[in-house]
């Protein structure tokens, strides 16, 4: 096994809808996004452990992923690109999908990861 440096990236997506959606519908959008992030992980070995949390009361999706790099700027850049691709694949910017009103990003270095 070898050690790798990595950065945890968290992105909060504050969203709005053109019409009222139920909590179940809101969480279904998060599930679609999660499916697309997992598809991105299959294609790109530099990202791992993606998660999506959803808070319908706050109209908030929270996305986290680990990016295998020591550079926090590159990790943030990579996570944003992966998220953008996953959002489009899930249907963002199409009728019915929420509009992203604001984003907030956080990064933090992780201890060395053991990779197989």
Q: Where are the domains of the chain?
A: 2-109
User: Of the candidates 66, 79, 81, which has an alpha carbon nearest to the alpha carbon of residue 112?
Assistant: 66
Q: What is the separation, in whole angstroms, between the first and last Cα of the chain? A: 5
Model confidence, pTM: 0.87
Q: What residues contact residue 81 under an 8 Å CB cut-off, 6+ apart?
A: none
As given in the structure block, the two tokens for residue 89 are 């694949």
For 14, phi then psi, to 5°, come to: -90, 125
CB-CB contact of 47 with 41 (8 Å) = yes
Q: Which one of 3.10.620.30, 3.40.50.2000, 3.40.50.2300, 3.30.70.1120 gives the CATH number of domain 2-109?
A: 3.30.70.1120
Query: What string of pLDDT tens digits covers the 116 residues of the chain?
Result: 455 789 999 999 999 988 889 999 999 999 999 999 999 999 999 999 999 999 999 999 999 999 999 999 999 999 999 999 999 999 887 777 888 898 998 988 876 554 43
- CA atoms of 50 and 102, how far apart (whole Å): 20
């Amino acid at each position: 096994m070898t050690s790798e440096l990595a950065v945890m990236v968290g992105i909060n997506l504050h969203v709005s809808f053109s019409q009222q959606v139920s909590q179940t519908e809101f969480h279904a959008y998060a599930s679609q996004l999660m499916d697309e992030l997992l598809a991105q992980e299959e294609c790109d070995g530099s990202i791992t452990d993606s998660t999506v949390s959803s808070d319908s009361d706050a109209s908030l999706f929270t996305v986290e992923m680990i990016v295998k790099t020591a550079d926090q700027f590159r990790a943030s850049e990579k996570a944003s690109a992966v998220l953008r691709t996953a959002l489009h694949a899930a249907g963002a910017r199409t009728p019915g999908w929420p509009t992203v009103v604001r984003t907030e990003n956080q990064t933090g270095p992780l201890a060395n990861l053991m990779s197989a």
